[in-house]
Structure 1
């Protein structure tokens, strides 16, 4: 029997051991037919300092090449959704994508003012609260330069389901609504009464994983 592989791509300043990844890992523990793995995009603080979207896509590609997964499906959370979506668009081989409170494209204005962006460029680094390492870490301006390549969402490269909270204070749900409306045959949007973290909707997350990915 072919084993289903699900790779979880965590969000910005998070880790493979975050709340949602840990929850799904526990839920999958008694599913021997599923190989669930959370990809660690920031194994060290220095990796985060030099973070770029292109680098994350390439890291995911290397992970896939190294592990040879079969019947591959991706879960992407926040920035991890941008990585998963662009990975599948670029390399293919992904059957389905479940995107959680997704960054579908890079939107600097949602994160920083023009003045803050200019200061980041001048100083070379921006200090970010990293939830995975539980400390403040520098992020180089190269992140922004590289991310400008990702200001447009690629068309869905596979069947996509989006879970997004109506109360998301980080990435407003409107962009997910527009994306689903633009591709009604490929994208389904599930709206939840939740904030960006979706940690209050873990049972709904698991229900959608079972319905859509398993």
Structure 2
């Protein structure tokens, strides 16, 4: 009887041993993906959402122009939170021509923490003095949004990562309609395209030179 009990115990030990080994082989790649190679956060913006733009009053005396924006910050990681330890600086500008950029307003977002797979919307308004002019040679106003900040993953031994992103949003001066709708992803300056007037497709282009 004692031998039978021992054999049963041995089988149970072997079963649990193989279960643990298989669990390690299955879980290890998943844990490496989740914690070893975290994804950077994504940023996108929607300018003038639900805002009626009246460009025909642009040059009337004492005209105050406001920029309504909805900035979306998304943590794409399922298992890692993200700290934004420093204020995030956002600059709103426009192109009077292809080689010059004029700053309209600046906005600062205080530091915060973002949990796993969380998305934060920052909806606000900035007021500018004066009014942007059309892009030379076109009938549209080419706005640009720049974002500069830092982030750090919530895990041991991680350092701060700097992020510098931007996008271009255009508005038809005659109709006051945006040429792109919804959120536009902010991209790295290394993904720049040349800002040619005749072939200007702002939903895909971002001019990095300041």
Q: Give TM-score, length-normalised by structure 2.
A: 0.24
* The structure with more radius of gyration: 2
Q: Give TM-score, length-normalised by structure 1.
A: 0.24
User: Quick check: which one's helix share is greater?
Assistant: 1
